Amino acid sequence: MKQIGIDENGFGSLTGPLVITGTVIEMEKEKWFRKICDSKIFFSSRSESKFKKLEEFVISLYYSIKKQMPSSPTEIVNYLSPEFKCLSRVDICFKNIPDKFLWANPGNAKEEGEELLKWMEKEKIFIKDVKSEIVCAKRFNELIKKGNSKFIVDLSHFCKIVKKFNKENSVIYAGKIGGMKYYLKYLRYFFPEYEIYEEIEGEKKSIYLFEGKDNFKFGFFLDVEKISFPASISSIVGKYIREIFMESFRKSTGIKEKISGYRDKKTKKAISTLSSFPPDCIVRIK
């Protein structure tokens, strides 16, 4: 059985990127690696120990897929999202991505990666690929200015992730976007080459059958990271990518304190001082 799990990070943020991540897993039956859970639980606070745990897990995941250790966060970002390019000459969010790991103990991360490899071999569960779409504030704002809603911006990148993978006979678990129930007309727009049928549409899940060059199911689920193992991985990886981009953002703009990028007082206060930078690179329209 092939399962693809997709989740987003930063949908409602004030600044920083929107990150959509997909993970492909092949398995005989679903079982969860004991250290993986919903990213809101996995990264339940912004303490140093949680940042360490987050970075070490993402390094271990890279190691389990590539069979080698990454040299830096930049190498991880380039693997996950090789097509990402900054749209601005200022390059606030990408140019200062750290060239060394900030929180992790690489030795611990390698041990965890080896443990994950042994677990996969024992359980016949294999993480085949992980990919991210990174939508910086400037790109996000340009898409909104063209008349797209925040929902469409998000969904279009969910669909881009799906198109990156071999989907034959797979089940795709994606997080519900803004509580939306009905996706059929949008999916038909983004996937015109398929015949798409509704299986169920409701509060907790909306599932669609795709028939075409490959056949698969694509569903949107409330709290997807609690019910899909690959979606929980995607949620954690996307969280790490956002935090690494926020570190570059802070270094590029001279902000001293760690900020989340969401609509809290600390973030609002910090970005209110950045009048010398292009506004579209700082504040997201919605």
pLDDT tens, position by position, 139-193: 999 999 999 999 999 999 999 999 999 999 999 999 999 889 999 999 999 999 9
Tokens, residue 254: 């001279």
Nearest-Å Rg of the Cα atoms of the chain is 19
Q: Read out DSSP for 164-183?
A: HS--TTEEEEEE-STT----
Average pLDDT, the chain: 91
Work out the widest C-alpha separation in the chain, in whole angstroms: 55
Q: Are 18 and 11 in contact (CB under 8 A)?
A: yes
Could you tell me the pLDDT band of residue 119, with boundaries at 50, 70 and 90? confident
Burial of 245 (0-12, 13-18, 19+ CB in 10 A): buried
Helix (H, G, I), strand (E, B) or coil at 143: helix
For range 17-35, the mean pLDDT: 86
Q: E strands, 97-141, where?
A: 125-135
User: How far is it, in rounded angstroms, from Cα 5 to Cα 219?
Assistant: 10
The answer to whether the pTM exceeds 0.85 is yes
Please give the pLDDT value at position 94. Answer: 81
Could you tell me the pLDDT band of residue 268, with boundaries at 50, 70 and 90? very high
For range 93-122, the mean pLDDT: 89
Residues 6+ apart with CB under 8 A from 67: none
Fold (topology level) of 2-282: Nucleotidyltransferase; domain 5 (3.30.420)
208-231 confidence digits (pLDDT tens): 999 998 999 999 999 998 889 899
Q: How many CB atoms lie within 10 A of CB 66?
A: 13
Please give the pLDDT value at position 88. Answer: 80
Type of residue numbered 218: F
Please give the pLDDT value at position 42. Answer: 62
Please give the pLDDT value at position 5. Answer: 96
